[in-house]
Amino acid sequence: MPANTGQIASIARLCNAEGVPLVVRGAGTGFTGGAVPTCGGVLLSMERLDRILEIDELNLLAVVEPNVINADLQHAVEAAGLFYPPDPASLNQSSIGGNVAECAGGPRAFKYGTTKRYVLALEAVLPTGEVIHTGSKAVKNVVGYDLTQLLAGSEGTLAIITKITLRLLPKPPANATMLAVGAAAFGQLFLMTLYLQEVLRYSALKTGVAFITITVTLIAVTNLAQKLTTRLGARPVLSAGLVLTAAGGVLYARMPADGHYFWNVFPGLFLSGIGLALTFVPVMIASLTGVQPADAGVASGLINTSRQIGGSIGLAAVTTIAATASNHYAETNAVPAFSAPALTHGFQVAFYTLIGVALVGAAIAAAFIESKPKPAPLAKPIEVEVALEDAA
């Protein structure tokens, strides 16, 4: 159980000189069996090398020893307003050294890439006991062979990693609110369509014309939503959009069955159209914060998937709630299950449920979405030691 690089180098030299197998063991959570000494020999535990040596907020990097647990690093950098994306399933037990050796991924790899993308530099001990340094703290490091990326994913077959410099990202805003956005938006539109036709008995033509309004309103307000998000940040715009979506739901829930076609339908649709524009635009902008340009397409696809999942959940929920509430009203008041009063009651309960979802989404946005993107700080100079040999 060595405590520093020098001790590891001494052990490696001794094993090499005596021809004894040397196997490195980190947290022991890998599935490839790399930490199992199948040929006997010396098992080198990295348990004591568990320090976070540096978190550089200006240059967006961290320097750690190999046995730092992934989750501990994530908590430490998030407390500094930064973000380390790789999140293997064993993040609460697995070590950064093992993640680098195995090039671990995790669910976020689809959006941000695997561990090797975030490894800037390594300190490592070769089997002969020689200590080497690869890479640098500089992002642009194109001189010579890329030994850092060669060691990342080598599964301990080339060297013993003793120190790791990792690239960090600005902490992204919470995107879970997109589930609430999708549920409230799609659920509301679906429920409104059924309400117009089943309760108010409007024709398919009238229903279609009504929904053209929400489409035109959404398109018209999209450009304004983008400008507001750029000027004010995602949090206030998104919160306002969800509140307006909830307000549209209130108008739908209070819609009289014998009212005028225009005054019945269009005020709620106008509010919903404005609300949809003020929710979808800022949440898309917020979801791309800190994402590399090459990954923007994947990130957009993932956030759209979240919206569709939320929409599917919303459709299933409101349908079930409306049917259950209608049946309960019919049984309690001894009226037919599909009578206008029973259907109206069921739809109203479902609308109020969606209003609650939208307001919860607004609360999440207000609590977690960053108020306004902060300009990147000027990085402090990185000291690079350069050894110059005498030409003579």
pLDDT value at residue 305: 64
This prediction's pTM: 0.54
**Angle between the 261-287 and 204-232 helix axes, to the nearest 10 degrees?**
40
Of all residues in the chain, the percent with pLDDT exceeding 90 is 21
φ, ψ for residue 165 (rounded to 5)?
-105, 120
The whole-number average pLDDT for the span 235-264 is 80
- Residue 299 reports pLDDT greater than 50: yes
pLDDT value at residue 165: 95
pLDDT value at residue 33: 73
CATH of domain 5-170: 3.30.465.10
- Residue 377 reports pLDDT greater than 60: no
- Residue extent(s) of CATH 3.30.465.10 domains in the chain: 5-170
Tally of CB atoms within 10 A around 75: 11
Q: Which residue has the higher pLDDT, 311 or 70?
A: 70
Band of pLDDT at residue 12, cut at 50, 70 and 90: very high
Q: CA 233, CA 286: separation in Å to the nearest integer?
A: 9
Q: What is the pLDDT of residues 49-80, one digit of tens each?
A: 999 999 998 888 999 999 999 999 999 998 88
Is the domain spanning 177-368 CATH 1.20.1250.20? The answer is yes
Residues 6+ apart with CB under 8 A from 122: 100, 133, 134, 135, 147, 148, 151, 152, 161, 163, 164, 165
CB 211 within 8 A of CB 345: no
Q: Which residue has the higher pLDDT, 7 or 204?
A: 7
- Residue 301 reports pLDDT greater than 50: yes
Tracing tokens 């060595």 back to the chain, one arrives at 2
- Residue extent(s) of CATH 1.20.1250.20 domains in the chain: 177-368
pLDDT value at residue 49: 92
Q: Which residue has the higher pLDDT, 242 or 9?
A: 9
Band of pLDDT at residue 15, cut at 50, 70 and 90: very high
pLDDT value at residue 123: 95
Band of pLDDT at residue 184, cut at 50, 70 and 90: confident
**Angle between the 340-368 and 177-194 helix axes, to the nearest 10 degrees?**
160
pLDDT value at residue 17: 93
